[in-house]
């Protein structure tokens, strides 16, 4: 049973650049959520995708955008990178129809902005 996978593992960018992170959900899951985790803090919700649409969004600027594909995989895009965007970006998947909403996390992508 394949768990949540994310790519790349690590990424280094400079201020002003754009980045795309990728996530494949756990087998059988149809919902993908993205979180940002700064060092020493808990994850902060960015947004959730279900049926290829953004269903819910946290308190993040429009520089953060996403997409969900028909195979349920997802991308997180961040434009005009700032130093403060350096963090671990986590993807979590769940199955919307079960009602349990349990979200399972991937290993994350460590983004460093210089």
Partner 1 sequence: GESVGLHLPTLSVQEGDNSIINCAYSNSASDYFIWYKQESGKGPQFIIDIRSNMDKRQGQRVTVLLNKTVKHLSLQIAATQPGDSAVYFCAEESNDYKLSFGAGTTVTVRA
Q: Decide: is 4 part of the binding site for partner 1 (CB under 8 A).
A: yes
User: Applying CB under 8 A, which of residues 42, 53, 70, 71 lies at the interface with partner 1?
Assistant: 42
Kindly provide the b/e burial profile for residues 11-27, where b requires at least 16 CB atoms within 10 angstroms of the residue's own CB. eebeeeeebebebbbbe
Return d(Cα 66, Cα 76) in angstroms, integer: 4
Q: Partners of 5 in the beta sheet?
A: 24
* Nearest to partner 1 of 13, 107 (CB atom): 107
Stretch that binds partner 1, among 13-21, 61-69, 78-86, 97-105 (CB under 8 A): 97-105
- The H helix count followed by the E strand count for the chain is 0, 11
Return d(Cα 99, Cα 91) in angstroms, integer: 19
Stretch that binds partner 1, among 11-19, 52-60, 65-73, 75-83 (CB under 8 A): 52-60
Q: Decide: is 68 part of the binding site for partner 1 (CB under 8 A).
A: no
Binding site for partner 1 (CB under 8 A): 4, 33, 35, 40-45, 48, 55-56, 58, 90, 92, 100-108
């Amino acid at each position: 049973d394949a768990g949540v996978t994310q790519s790349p593992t690590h990424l280094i960018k400079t201020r002003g650049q754009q980045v795309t992170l990728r996530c494949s959900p756990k087998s059988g899951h149809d919902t993908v959520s993205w979180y940002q985790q700064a060092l020493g803090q808990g994850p902060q919700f960015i947004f959730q995708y279900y049926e290829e649409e953004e269903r819910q969004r946290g308190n993040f600027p429009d520089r953060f955008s996403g997409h969900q594909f028909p195979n349920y995989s997802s991308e997180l895009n961040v434009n005009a990178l700032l130093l403060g965007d350096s963090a671990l970006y986590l993807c979590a998947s769940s199955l919307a129809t079960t009602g349990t909403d349990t979200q399972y996390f991937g290993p994350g992508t460590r983004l460093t902005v210089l």
